[in-house]
Amino acid sequence: MATDEAEQHARELAAAAIAAGDPTSWFERLYAEAEAGTAVVPWDRRAASTLIARWLDEQQVTGHGKSAVVVGTGLGDDAELIASLGFDTVAFDISPTAIAAASRRHPGSAVRYQAADVISPPAAWLHGFDLVVDGLALQSMPDPPRAQALAAIGRLVAPGGRLLVTARAREHGEPVTGPPYALTRDEIDAIAGPGLRITSLEELRDPPGMTPGRRWRAVYQREQ
């Protein structure tokens, strides 16, 4: 299945899930179809996100003695990169099939893969991670429940810890179709809740050869 066809199929699954009143159920259906060989996960590049990898390199991030969590891990490539830097890494996804597939893709991995929902994570995770990373989850959610996810993701950040979010960008009032559902600046700002502030916000252009568009790369930090 070509990339355009895979993205169109994901949009059809998302539309059907929204119409059925269960707007995040399409993730599990898509991964299950991919496991059966009847669909392709359009964001599966079999490599970590370039925007995330570049930030980790630019900031010379090391994780020894620190913890990290990857939100909406999908098939685990971002999580494996972060674990390779020494972080004690948890990676979760709302789709149990995605978690099973990630575990198979990375046998013997030190990453702890788990099915969970960012809106209602395990209580032990709250304010529990030195680094929180999202390269897929927020921009993949329709609204609702995206507003709830925007408010919830920062709760995973430990005192003094950081949150990295990358997502497609759009102007306020600009039509949004998806997935992916591009985020406005207001939505990026909404992630910064009590005790969590934006320390860096970049608006980046897609490199040549990729679908033309703009992306946010935002970093937040929680007070000590």
Amino acid at 64: H
Instruction: Assess if residue 81 is contained within a domain.
Output: yes
Domain assignment present for residue 38? The answer is no
Which DSSP string do the residues of 201-222 spell out, in sequence order? EEEEEPPTTSPS-EEEEEEEEE
Asked whether residue 60 is assigned to any structural domain, the reply reads yes
Query: Vertex 129, ends 64 and 48: CA angle to 5°?
Result: 70
Count structural domains, the chain.
Answer: 1
Over its length of 224 residues, how does the chain's per-residue pLDDT go in tens digits? 557 899 999 999 999 999 999 999 999 999 999 999 999 999 998 999 999 999 999 999 999 999 999 999 999 999 999 999 999 999 999 999 999 999 999 999 999 999 999 999 999 999 999 999 999 999 999 999 999 999 999 999 999 999 999 999 999 888 888 899 999 999 999 999 999 999 999 999 876 655 558 999 999 999 99
C-alpha 223/C-alpha 208 separation (Å) is 38
CA–CA distance, 57 with 62 (Å, rounded to integer): 9
Indicate whether 51 belongs to any domain: yes
Can you give the pLDDT at residue 209?
A: 58
Query: Would residue 33 count as lying in a domain?
Result: no
Residue 31 lies in a domain: no
E strands, 26-95, where? 67-71, 88-93
Q: Is 69 helix (H, G, I), strand (E, B) or coil?
A: strand
* Residue among 8, 42, 5, 31 at smallest CA distance from 177: 8
Q: Residue 186 is which amino acid?
A: D
Q: Give the domain CATH number at 57.
A: 3.40.50.150
| Tokens of residue 180, six digits | 């992916």
3-class secondary-structure state, position 164: strand
Q: Does residue 127 form part of some domain? A: yes
- The strand pair at 88-93 and 129-134 is best described as unpaired
The confidence score (pLDDT) of residue 205 equals: 83
The Cα–Cα gap between 68 and 82 comes to 8
For the entire predicted model, the pTM comes to: 0.95
Q: What is the pLDDT of residue 4?
A: 84
Range of the domain at 150: 45-222
How far, in Å, CA of 111 to CA of 120, rounded?
Answer: 21
Residue 103 maps to a domain: yes
